[in-house]
Structure 1
């Protein structure tokens, strides 16, 4: 009986109208996203995913169980995009992180592209003498000093920037070669899962331009839905229950416990872009130390308490004050500050 059911499910496929409806709905929601980079990347991701599964299904027999799983994934993606376009902050922030490579498949692609120029794209063996990529180590060290990652709850903390391979096991015996290799491999995979790679220059310019206002932004226009007025129905009141329990409960805020929809304005988007910018490292080459230097954005910047000035102007600014910062009276002689050798 079980073999008959499995063979029936394997030779059955969902109707084409279901997939066409989901595909069009996903592309429609992608076109409503309020970020230009998210619109392009999420639309490309949706098209690539449908094409990949269509080509894969042509090579294999139709499997209803797998198609139901793919349909469930597509419905979840559609729900995420819909709530993001309605103004829910957490789903919209997740979509932005997916589009800018702060999580998901695109983050893995950016990591591989970041490590590839130095010939560190893939390490098939993690045997003795293997060292982690230098770019990876420098980036992990920079992430350890970025408090915004923990504040935004965006990823796990990477404590070890290099694999720690002990010389002995718990029984005091030398660690086997296979175990040493597995420790390095596990560290490499775990560290890559917590890395925030740099963005492409073009996308970083767009993100900074949207935050500063240099790039004009307008909310996307949505297609108006056809409004249908429901028929007027007289409420059916049970007089006995009304007298016993009182009036029924009206509309509550139970559905807004995990968040509420916002009107998508530029100010609302700037807060999300700023949070996203704190997870994007800026790379500069340190010529003195011959290594890359990573800097991170912060949400709140403190006031500037010091300014730089030329030495010739400093005497004019601080000419009427003594060494303790008090104003010198006209009858008091001015004391030159002592210079240390």
Structure 2
């Protein structure tokens, strides 16, 4: 498929067509909205005094519009080839499409994260937080933390504030489950030293920078929870309890009355020939690789590999707190081994393979006899004495023993040994 010569309207239709073939219903609706939003109108003006039309935002000049359109067309062509590869059954492309659709990466991740960063009671956090007062700053990232708590003589811990219980629960659960797409989150709270390397109190500016760095790295690796119905739906499809909404590809349109090339004007034939010669487009992987049929079994495996990076929040009415529930891998179906079998095969045998109603005799352990015990002790005593005598026979005498003084311990021991010999 030649995509270099696609006009914007044809590129839009091609993207929407490929997005409608995705094997996941949520991905189809997400990418349709995403594509339409990216293809918004960017009108240009002939005069700076022209008023902007309603709903289209600020007008832009011709050069700005053309330059932006060229960049967007290149991105659209790459996205079209990627969607075609996903619809052809490439595992990595399909998995990344699901990551985008379910907010593990991309724009939707930060949309879900914005809902997670909302406080429990917005009216109660209008006042500056304790960390903002302590660090003399009104930065927003400082409002998510409580005052530092001293752990030992050298370390402070700064936990997430009680006003952000959902954020604290999600972050703590992700650290405990060791879930991450890249590097794992090491701690669910900031750990900062009390003093610097010179043993002086930590400067406020450096303390703010430590908190800012931890917040930036953690929010980048944090996987926000999904809505409950969306999480349950994907978990049910991964377990095989719900049918997967696959879409059948439509047949391409066929021209009813094709016009032969010979009947076209010479100028039109020359223009098409020159255009095809100047394209020099590198073939896409979607054109090179052989398509793979996507079925329910493949999608269940994909959902099982994606659900482990997803979670949901549930309110525990008993303990009055939020709980984070993470997805699980698709295990063996409990009804897999429950197929009825013939009773004669395992008749009269329990679950461990022992015969029913028959007690296995225990192996008798020989009781120690008095004569045997005395003989065993005497043999051990004799062996120990023989070993002692062997150790006494083999004594190493150094060659310089005659040079040593008479009262030296080595010479005394050597002289005793030489007298016995």
**What secondary structure is seen at the aligned counterpart in 2 of 1:145?**
helix
Structure 1 residue aligned with 2:202, among 175, 182, 199?
175
What residue in structure 2 maps to residue 223 of structure 1?
Answer: 250
2:234 paired residue number: 207
SS of the residue corresponding to residue 59 of structure 1 reads: coil
| CA 299–217 in structure 1, closer or farther in 2 if over 3 Å, else same | closer
Where in structure 1 are there 5+ consecutive unaligned residues?
A: 1-16, 229-254, 305-320, 333-341
When normalised by structure 2's length, the TM-score is 0.54
Structure 2: tracts of 5 or more residues without a match = 1-5, 44-54, 127-138, 148-158, 256-284, 335-349, 362-421
- Provide the rounded CA distance (Å) in 2 between the counterparts of 1:178 and 1:213: 54
Instruction: Please name the residue that 1:263 is paired with.
Output: 293
Among 96, 108, 127, which residue is 2:98 paired with? Answer: 96
In the superposition, the TM-score normalised over structure 1's length comes to 0.65
* Count of aligned pairs between the two proteins: 266
Q: Distance in 1 between matches of 2:11 and 2:70?
A: 13
- Give the aligned partner of residue 140 of structure 1: 171
Match of 2:59 in 1: 59
Residues 1:18 and 2:20 aligned together: no
Equivalent position of 2:193 in the other structure: 166
Give the C-alpha shift of residue 103 in structure 1.
Answer: 1.0
Of 122, 134, 140, 1:124 maps to: 140
Contact 1:277 1:297 (8 Å CA) reproduced:
yes
Instruction: Measure, in 1, the Cα distance between the counterparts of 2:217 and 2:146.
Output: 20
Contact 2:182 2:221 in 1 (8 A): yes
CA RMSD of aligned residues (A): 3.7
Candidates 321, 324, 348, aligned match of 1:294: 324
| 8 A contact 1:126–1:182 mirrored in 2 | no
Alpha-carbon distance in 2 for matches of 1:56, 1:163: 44
Over residues 287-326 of structure 1, what are the superposed CA-to-partner deviations in whole Å (9 max), with x where a residue is unaligned?
Answer: 555432223233253798xxxxxxxxxxxxxxxx9xxx99
Contact 2:184 2:221 in 1 (8 A): yes
Alignment counterpart, residue 37 of structure 1, candidates 2, 26, 29? 26
User: Which structure ranks higher in relative contact order (CA pairs < 8 Å, sequence separation ≥ 6)?
Assistant: 1
Superposed displacement of residue 170, structure 1: 3.6
**Deviation at 1:91?**
0.6
Equivalent residue in structure 1 for 2:73, among 71, 79, 90: 71
User: Which structure has the larger Rg over C-alpha atoms?
Assistant: 2
What are the within-5 Å matches in structure 2 for residues 277-288 of structure 1? 277-287=307-317
8 Å Cα contact 2:313-2:323 kept in structure 1: yes
